[in-house]
């Protein structure tokens, strides 16, 4: 597995057989962990992808894009949807709840965005300190910041 550039975002597939990587404002690449083969490259013309993640069922992927949007793709590369929030400044460190209804991302250095995919409603969590990363608990009840 040779990416050639440094990765800023990495995400294991739910079955741990595949891996997503994304460099700084690059494309997202999906890898076969056993063979090291690049299975697919996801990109959008004119913009760079800055973060990546898997749906809980492993049937689609999503990415934060440097045009301040979140895009979702089928594994074959067909775009499912692309969402641009009202408050987004940048999208990094993405997570999705196990029911696939909420996408969570950092959207500025001291705030986290919660996007309800069905209702198309967003809300945020503001912190007084800079946020460097976060992690969602498996039961979706806690967000460690």
Residue 7: strand pairing partners: 23
**pLDDT tens digit string along 51-83?**
888 998 999 998 887 777 888 999 999 998 888
17-53 per-residue burial string, b: 16 or more CB within 10 A, e: under 16:
ebbbbbbeebbbbbbeeeeeeeebebebeeebbbbbb
Query: Average pLDDT, stretch 14-23?
Result: 91
Q: Give the residue extent of every domain in the chain.
A: 7-144
Query: Average pLDDT, stretch 38-53?
Result: 84
Using the structure block, give the residue that is written with the tokens 């400044």: 89
* Residue 18, token pair as written in the block: 């595949």
Q: At residue 145, does pLDDT exceed 90?
A: no
pTM beyond cutoff 0.85: no
Distance in angstroms (rounded) separating the CA atoms of residues 83 and 52: 14
**pLDDT tens digit string along 110-119?**
888 888 888 8
7-144: CATH number: 2.130.10.10
């Amino acid at each position: 597995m040779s990416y050639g550039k440094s990765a800023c975002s990495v995400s294991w597939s739910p079955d741990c057989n595949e891996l997503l990587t994304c460099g700084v404002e690059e494309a997202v690449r999906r890898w076969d962990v056993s063979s090291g083969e690049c299975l697919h490259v996801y990109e959008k013309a004119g913009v760079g992808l800055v973060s990546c993640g898997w749906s809980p069922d492993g049937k689609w992927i999503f990415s934060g894009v440097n045009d301040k949007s979140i895009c979702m793709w089928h594994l074959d590369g067909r775009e499912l949807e692309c969402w641009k929030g009202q408050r987004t400044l940048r999208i990094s460190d993405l997570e999705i709840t196990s029911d696939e209804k909420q996408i969570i991302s950092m959207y500025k250095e001291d705030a986290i965005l919660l996007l309800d995919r069905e209702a198309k409603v967003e809300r945020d969590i503001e912190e007084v300190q800079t946020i460097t990363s976060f992690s969602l608990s498996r039961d979706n009840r806690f967000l460690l910041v």
